[in-house]
Amino acid sequence: MRTMRIGKSDILNATVMGLGAWAIGGKFWWGDNDDRESEETIRAAVDRGINLIDTAAVYGFGHSEEVIGRAIAGLRDRVILSTKCGLSWDGREGSFFYEKEGKTVRRNLSRASIRKDIEASLKRLKTDRIDIYLTHWQSVEPYRASVEETMRALTDLKKEGKIRAIGISNVSPEQICEYMDFGELDIVQEKYSILDRRAEKKYFEICKKNGVTFQAYSPLEMGILTGKIAEDFKPAPGSARDNKHWYEKENLKRAVRMLAGWGDLTKKYGCTVTNLSVAWLLAQKDNMNVLCGARKVFQLEDNIGGAELALEKEDILRMTKDAQEAGALL
């Protein structure tokens, strides 16, 4: 698989596709998991050439990190680990974010909180370093840490060798500029898919201009762009898909019918709808990394097929037009 540099960091060979591990955390968002199957999938990703694994402390309240820690035992030097800080559920101070399973999740990007987060993640992941460390959600009132304080804390961790690259997620373009005022920013992680292209106007130019890698999450719209979701599907209340734009009845219907119209393309390339969706995304921008979630080996292999598929220009344009007609967010 093709590799790339992450920002201006010393990470020179990250695969253009990473394994996203939100669903591996299970719990209230994604339901029960077979952890042994998740571990098998993680190891299979490494064996099949994916070296970037992305998670976050809050995924399953630490469970995703724990599963990854077990899975990569003996493989650490073959893996580029990415995780996130800034969301705590242990009762410490912070701005209220949400409540789930009797736990209150708070936003906290103070120096002290980041220090606690990194040590907890290192322990769960069974490692002495995090390769890419991102702020998950940004500080808000009433417990707001300044971007300067946050960036200084991250830069100190980098100097200490506990992290190698600094990233941010769920931010505005203005916040990106503010982070860069106080240190070296390597990666911006935001939602992006053929059905949700808002990132193009908000982030592409600023990332390109400043040598910052853009990383796309939810490239398959939580499963819709695999072509395996029926138009009458209803998300379970409180699940990750609940209340999401493309899972609303009429939106889902339009998306499913768009995918049904790609039968000639899957036949032409001998591929799946998942392959097409991932390949379209990777064709949009240089210096872009894509995170695809998987809990099972067959899901992983489907994702990989998209990273290895080169679409002809006329088909890229046709897919873009189809998505616009289906109501893609721009």
Strand segments (E) across the chain: 3-4, 14-15, 17-20, 52-54, 80-85, 87-88, 95-100, 103-107, 130-135, 163-169, 187-191, 213-217, 288-293
Please report which confidence band the pLDDT of residue 32 belongs to, taking 50, 70 and 90 as the band edges: confident
Residue ranges and CATH numbers for the domains of the chain are 3-221+281-311 (3.20.20.100)
- Which of 71, 79, 19 is closest to 51 using CA atoms? 79
Q: Which residue shows structure tokens 């088909």?
A: 315
Structure-token match 């201006």, residue found: 8
Average pLDDT over all residues of the chain: 96
Quick check: 157 pLDDT over 80?
A: yes
The residue with tokens 């992680």 is: 189
Residue 330: is its pLDDT beyond 80?
yes
Checking if the pLDDT of 181 tops 90, the result is yes
Is the pLDDT reported for residue 5 higher than 80?
yes
The per-residue pLDDT for range 102-136, each reduced to its tens digit, is: 999 999 999 999 999 999 999 999 999 999 999 99
Residue 322 in this model has a pLDDT that exceeds 80:
yes
User: What token pair was written down for 116?
Assistant: 């606690």
- HSE-CB at 54 with a 13 A cutoff on CA atoms is 28
Helix axes 173-181, 147-159, angle to 10 degrees: 50
* Phi-psi label, residue 49: left if phi above 0, alpha if psi -120 to 50, beta otherwise: left
SS3 260: helix
Pairing of strands 3-4, 14-15: antiparallel
pLDDT tens figures, 207-243: 999 999 999 999 999 999 999 999 999 999 988 999 9
Amino acid at the residue 169:
S
The answer, yes or no, to whether residue 318 has pLDDT greater than 90, is yes
The answer to whether 162 touches 122, Cβ cutoff 8 Å, is: yes
Label residue 148 by pLDDT band (50, 70, 90).
very high
Task: Quote the longest CA-to-CA distance of the chain.
Answer: 55
DSSP helix/strand/coil, 288: strand
pLDDT (tens digit per residue) in 272-313: 999 999 999 999 988 899 999 999 999 999 999 999 999 999
Q: Give the strand pairing for 130-135 and 80-85.
A: parallel
Please give the average per-residue pLDDT across 6-26, as a whole number.
96
127: amino acid identity, one letter: T
The torsion angles phi and psi of 96, rounded to 5 degrees, stand at -55, 135
Residues annotated as catalytic (active site), given as ranges: 59
Per-residue pLDDT tens over the stretch 248-278 = 999 999 999 999 999 999 999 999 999 999 9
